[in-house]
DNA sequence: AATTGTAAAATTGGATACAATATCCATCAT
DNA sequence: ATGATGGATATTGTATCCAATTTTACAATT
């Protein structure tokens, strides 16, 4: 009797706790708005974020804005310079390269853990995303679907913390990646690699899948860093 | 003349010192204090952090405390429950295992990148830390030196972002690791593994070093999760 | 006696106002 | 033109107030 009640209590608690987290407070909402703005390119790299201005546009006071700043800084999206303001962090070619160097071992780890857990449904979902991406080549949504595909492969790993880190890393390079993604040839090449990768997952061939994923991420990194390096070349005076 | 100037310099330096301290803003200082408190075990897992109480003890207002909360939450050290307060996050055995699963690929990546860059000085420094750790077996400082050794191996990689991620991961498991580190047999075993690892680095044998490091981290993870699992067994009345 | 309902206290969330400090920028003298 | 100076601007931090929510305590009902 009592044990049953205790079990129910434990179950309910686990259901309620994440629910409480979902109560979004103003700082969280502001942080989400700013994050979206940064990721969608509405707020550009290097732009300074003025507390009062943002507070006015969001219709809130400065306090939630400042708390949002702290959160975004911890995520690496902005950088707070004391008494000078917060600026959207801009990454150098070297820093982008470092992020890709981190992504390779982390994403392959996620994939390794995921493949044994992949169900037919998981594979179907990933395939559906790829088909969707084919039809969205022109629009800006392709980049989003690109990540959705990757995320759908890692989800079966059931490692929330690892996935959160990957999402964060992706967000940090996403703004820059858009510059490269515009090329249609890259999209088609990437889609082909995705299909190869998905096939390897379907065959449960972990080593092949990992090798493909490694090459895929490294290629994207090379493309992006090359682009950034040439953009950085023209030195002022 | 010169003495006068030197005196002025000294005076100016004394004026500048508090200025340098001001480089860190109050929320950052509060965050550091809380982080230290959590890492050193002064603030225990599950404990709720009351804004007003902390503001009073630090002699500041609630606002910097709240900003510090946001920062620490992003680091994973605390969790903010809206309207209910912030609590020091406690990790389950599964969550600790996930963190170790992440550490392995990341730390080995750092090591791979570091070994080619290691100078004789780097190796000497690492060896010195090991010798120091031998003499600090009893004290609580051993855990600190344990990480210092690892960090000294990764530093030559010159990947600031990667190192920051590793520091954060280490901080998250550190509190729990202390429970295991108390065993003297573990310390001696760990030290032996460290010396093997250092030797491999000295030989620039990347694959051997990576294999040793992988085993070393996985063993620590196994030890800790096993401990936590048995601690979690006894269910609270 | 146990459960339910309600009111009050405590705590957090947020806004406004104000003081202090640092930075930026235009002006001025050399 | 160059560098210093002072004010404008922006950020930081604090205090005070009120709203919202949670928790606690107490009363009421069954």
Residue A66 structure tokens: 């400042």
Enumerate residues near strand C (beta carbon within 7 A): A 25-27, 59-64, 67, 83-84; B 19, 22, 48-52, 62, 66, 80, 82-85
Q: How far is the CA of B82 from the C1' of D29 (A)?
A: 34
> What pLDDT sits at residue B9?
40
**What distance separates the 2 farthest-apart alpha carbons in chain A?**
81
Tell me the percentage of chain A whose pLDDT exceeds 70: 87
Among A55-64, A147-156, B210-219, which is the least confidently predicted range?
A: A55-64
- 3-state SS class at B43: coil
> What pLDDT sits at residue B234?
59
pLDDT grade for B198, boundaries at 50, 70 and 90: very high
Phi (first) and psi of residue B88, to 5 degrees: -65, 120
pLDDT grade for B29, boundaries at 50, 70 and 90: confident
- 3-state SS class at B49: strand
- Non-local CB neighbours of B132 within 8 Å, separated by 6+ positions: B145
Quick one: closest CA in A to B158, which residue? A98
DSSP-derived secondary structure letter, B79 = E
Min Cα separation A198/chain B (Å): 23
> What pLDDT sits at residue A59?
87
> What pLDDT sits at residue B23?
62
> What pLDDT sits at residue B17?
39
Average pLDDT of chain B is: 86
Residue B150 structure tokens: 């690892």
pLDDT grade for B175, boundaries at 50, 70 and 90: confident
Task: State the average pLDDT over residues B21-48.
Answer: 83
> What pLDDT sits at residue B41?
84
> What pLDDT sits at residue B13?
41
Min Cα separation A74/chain B (Å): 6
pLDDT grade for B114, boundaries at 50, 70 and 90: very high
Query: Is any atom of nucleic acid chain D found less than 7 Å from the CB of residue B4?
Result: no
Domains of chain B in start order, with CATH, are 2-88 (1.10.10.10), 93-232 (1.20.120.530)
Q: Give DSSP secondary structure letters for chain A.
A: -HHHHHHHHHHHHHHHHHHHHTS--HHHHHHHHHHHHHHTTSSPTT-EE-HHHHHHHHTS-HHHHHHHHHHHHHHTSEEEETTTEEEE----HHHHHHHHHHHHHHHHHHHHHHGGG--HHHHHHHHHHHHHHHHTSSSTHHHHHHHHHHHHHHGGG--HHHHHHHHHHHHHHHHHHHHHHT-HHHHHHHHHHHHHHHHHHHTT-HHHHHHHHHHHHHHHHHHHHHHHHHHH-S---
Half-sphere CA count of B21, side-chain side, radius 13 A? 7
Task: State the average pLDDT over residues A32-43.
Answer: 88
Taking the C-alpha atoms of residue A191 and residue B131, their distance in angstroms, rounded to an integer, is 53
> What pLDDT sits at residue A220?
93
**Is residue A20 pLDDT above 60, yes or no?**
no
Tell me the percentage of chain A whose pLDDT exceeds 90: 51
Task: State the average pLDDT over residues A164-170.
Answer: 96
Question: Which of B20 and B125 is assigned the larger pLDDT?
Answer: B125
pLDDT grade for B233, boundaries at 50, 70 and 90: low
Quick one: closest CA in B to A28, which residue? B70
Substitution target in A76, A116, A160, A161 with the highest count of B β-carbons within 10 Å is A161
Half-sphere CA count of B110, side-chain side, radius 13 A? 24
Question: Which of B137 and A226 is assigned the larger pLDDT?
Answer: A226
Task: State the average pLDDT over residues A109-138.
Answer: 94
Query: Is any atom of nucleic acid chain D found less than 7 Å from the CB of residue A52?
Result: yes
- Helix spans in B23-139 (H): 26-39, 51-58, 62-75, 93-114, 120-135
Q: Are A69 and A78 in contact (CB under 8 A)?
A: yes
CB contact under 8 A, B82 and A161: no
Residue A155 structure tokens: 């989800």
Q: Are B221 and B178 in contact (CB under 8 A)?
A: no
pLDDT grade for B139, boundaries at 50, 70 and 90: low
- Non-local CB neighbours of A88 within 8 Å, separated by 6+ positions: A38, A43, A44, A45, A46, A47, A49, A77, A78
Taking the C-alpha atoms of residue B190 and residue A88, their distance in angstroms, rounded to an integer, is 43
pLDDT grade for B171, boundaries at 50, 70 and 90: very high
Other C-beta atoms lying within 10 Å of the C-beta of residue B42: 11
Average pLDDT of chain A is: 86
**Is residue B178 pLDDT above 50, yes or no?**
yes
Task: State the average pLDDT over residues A110-139.
Answer: 93
Q: What's the gap between Cα B143 and its chain centre?
A: 9
Q: What's the gap between Cα A108 and its chain centre?
A: 15
> What pLDDT sits at residue A128?
96
Q: Which of B81, B99, B161 comes nearest A161 by C-beta?
A: B99
pLDDT grade for A234, boundaries at 50, 70 and 90: low
Tell me the percentage of chain B whose pLDDT exceeds 90: 55
What does the angle CA B6 – CA B7 – CA B9 come to, to the nearest 5 degrees? Answer: 60
């Amino acid at each position: 009797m009592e044990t049953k009640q205790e079990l129910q209590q434990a179950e309910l608690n686990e259901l309620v706790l994440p629910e409480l987290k979902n109560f979004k407070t103003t700082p969280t909402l502001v942080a989400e708005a700013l994050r979206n703005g940064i990721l969608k390119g509405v707020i550009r790299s290097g732009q300074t974020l003025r507390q009062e201005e943002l507070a006015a546009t969001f219709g809130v006071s400065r306090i939630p804005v400042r708390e949002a700043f702290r959160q975004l800084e911890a995520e690496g999206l902005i950088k707070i310079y004391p008494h000078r303001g917060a600026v959207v962090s801009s990454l150098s070619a070297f820093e982008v390269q470092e992020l890709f160097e981190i992504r390779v071992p982390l994403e392959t780890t996620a994939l390794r853990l995921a493949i044994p857990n992949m169900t037919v449904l998981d594979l179907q979902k990933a395939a559906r995303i790829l088909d969707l991406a084919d039809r969205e080549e022109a629009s800006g949504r392709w980049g989003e679907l690109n990540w959705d595909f990757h995320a759908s492969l890692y989800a079966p790993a059931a490692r929330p913390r690892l996935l959160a880190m990957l999402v964060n890393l992706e967000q940090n390079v996403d703004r820059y990646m858009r510059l490269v993604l515009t090329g249609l040839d890259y999209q088609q090449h990437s889609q082909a690699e995705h299909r190869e990768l998905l096939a390897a997952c379907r065959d449960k061939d972990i080593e092949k899948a990992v090798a493909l994923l490694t090459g895929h991420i490294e290629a994207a990194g090379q493309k992006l860093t090359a682009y950034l390096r040439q953009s950085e070349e023209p030195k002022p005076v």
